[in-house]
Structure 1
């Protein structure tokens, strides 16, 4: 019912525009540029009901060069992430430039991403359950990726790091933030740090928060990645950077000290997130998803550039909103 009303409102606005504003006659490419600024919920459930030309634009690749469902997917039901991702990637027809998603659990879905990654430049693949052998098999298809986020991917290790580094020759941004409770049983992750140093020489920004690394391996990164501008080592207790190297390179180092308490004002200053919520009637998505999957819309985040280090909070333990303490420095 709500979608019918909103579609009617859009149709009325079109009619009020008169002959000078024939929105339904715009070419699909132009419509795609307009629609990508709307919430995903509206693009999937409202826009297709306005007119046939808008429906064709939504069903085609024009709206799906950037797919960002990361915030929503963090709280979605098992299997739903893969199903929605398969729908949107299929619509993109290999034109994706940016993909942001959390919790990919299926090898088949990762293969689908890889098969459509010809033009992919930014890949946010947080908290996924993809293992090293799968990444090693498919990393060659991500050769144009320059921005990579594989935070909280505990099934990935040095094999995945080396594979991405070997094939993503122009990688300038890597985020490999870990959850301290998930790595507590690991011996160390120095092998990953050395792999970064050996295979990612063009990095300009590196975030390895809470990785179990030593000063030796991190300094090897600094020495090898000569274009590095920002290094985020928050939570990497005991790590110190060679001052002479840092001074000569002009490197900005963040950490290892972290914010001890949640600061709402700091969050507002450091993040451009904006939230919205509401029921998302997926049964209107052209029959592609069953109506048994009722999903609440989340925060649709748009991350651009690599210049600024973001303030991040623990994921998965409700600490983002609850204001719990950070782990204290040892």
Structure 2
């Protein structure tokens, strides 16, 4: 594992038992890492794995089987990574099979088909918000959804220039995380962001991390970008 992933692994394992909110956009975390720590994330209610290109259905299935309290998942992708490719439904199948309690799901620019999206909707009866912006293989019958799932708000598949944040907040209990612990990493410069004393203090038995955010950037010039169609 590179230094970013190794440090991420240590942080998550050390605090996993008390983490309710975990944001890992753009990290290099892999399926084996997720599978090895998923059992320690039983308290997790919100997870952001957007733009994590080294994980797939196996990681999501492990999360779903071990995180029974999970209500929100962000699994947005970058359009550059998915442009021109055929639909790939294995992640949607994993979500449908193992995350039935989801209320919020973001899968913008994901390689999903209409059939797999409907499978998710059928399997997650409590779903209130579904972000499908940029999922160009998906065609949904709006009339059918309104009649069958009146509480479900679907954003996309068409991408619009403006999005009213207030409208989104009506459908989510996850829209305001005012207090969380965040590290922002630039590849190759992790050492500048922490020291051993601060980590020892953070991992003290009396300290409980409930909201944890780690962001990974490929370079300093990329640090201001959060990907296409960011989470509201």
- Equivalence for 2:144: 244
Shift of 1:121: 0.4
Measure, in 2, the Cα distance between the counterparts of 1:122 and 1:288: 24
Measure, in 1, the Cα distance between the counterparts of 2:78 and 2:85: 12
Query: How many residues are treated as equivalent by the alignment?
Result: 186
List alignment gaps of at least 5 residues for structure 2. 169-174, 178-190, 199-210, 212-220
8 A Cα contact 1:107 1:130, kept in partner: no
Shift of 1:180: 0.8
Alignment equivalent of 2:40, drawn from 125, 141, 146: 141
8 A Cα contact 2:57 2:94, kept in partner: yes
Task: Give the direction of change, closer, same or farther, for the CA distance of 1:221–1:108 in structure 2 (3 Å limit).
Answer: same
Alignment equivalent of 1:253, drawn from 142, 154, 166: 154
Task: Give the direction of change, closer, same or farther, for the CA distance of 1:268–1:114 in structure 2 (3 Å limit).
Answer: same
8 A Cα contact 1:126 1:150, kept in partner: yes
Alignment equivalent of 1:128, drawn from 8, 27, 31: 27
8 A Cα contact 2:111 2:137, kept in partner: no
The secondary structure found in structure 2 opposite 1:126 is coil
> Between Structure 1 and Structure 2, whose CA radius of gyration is higher?
1
Q: Are 1:227 and 2:126 counterparts? A: yes
Measure, in 1, the Cα distance between the counterparts of 2:49 and 2:132: 15
1:256-312 CA deviation, whole Å, 9 max, x = no partner? 11124xx6x968998999xxxxxxxx99x88859xxxxxxxxxxxx9xxxxxxxxxx
The secondary structure found in structure 1 opposite 2:12 is helix
The secondary structure found in structure 2 opposite 1:181 is helix
Alignment equivalent of 2:106, drawn from 203, 207, 211: 207
Shift of 1:106: 1.8
Higher RCO (Cα < 8 Å, 6 or more apart): 2
Task: Give the direction of change, closer, same or farther, for the CA distance of 1:248–1:287 in structure 2 (3 Å limit).
Answer: closer
1:76-95 equivalence runs, <5 A: none
Task: Give the direction of change, closer, same or farther, for the CA distance of 1:268–1:245 in structure 2 (3 Å limit).
Answer: closer
Structural RMSD (CA): 3.7
Shift of 1:187: 4.3
Alignment equivalent of 2:53, drawn from 147, 150, 154: 154
Shift of 1:183: 2.7
- Equivalence for 2:81: 182
Measure, in 1, the Cα distance between the counterparts of 2:80 and 2:90: 20
TM-score normalised according to structure 1 size = 0.49
- Equivalence for 1:89: none
The secondary structure found in structure 1 opposite 2:105 is strand
Alignment equivalent of 2:63, drawn from 149, 156, 164: 164
TM-score normalised according to structure 2 size = 0.67
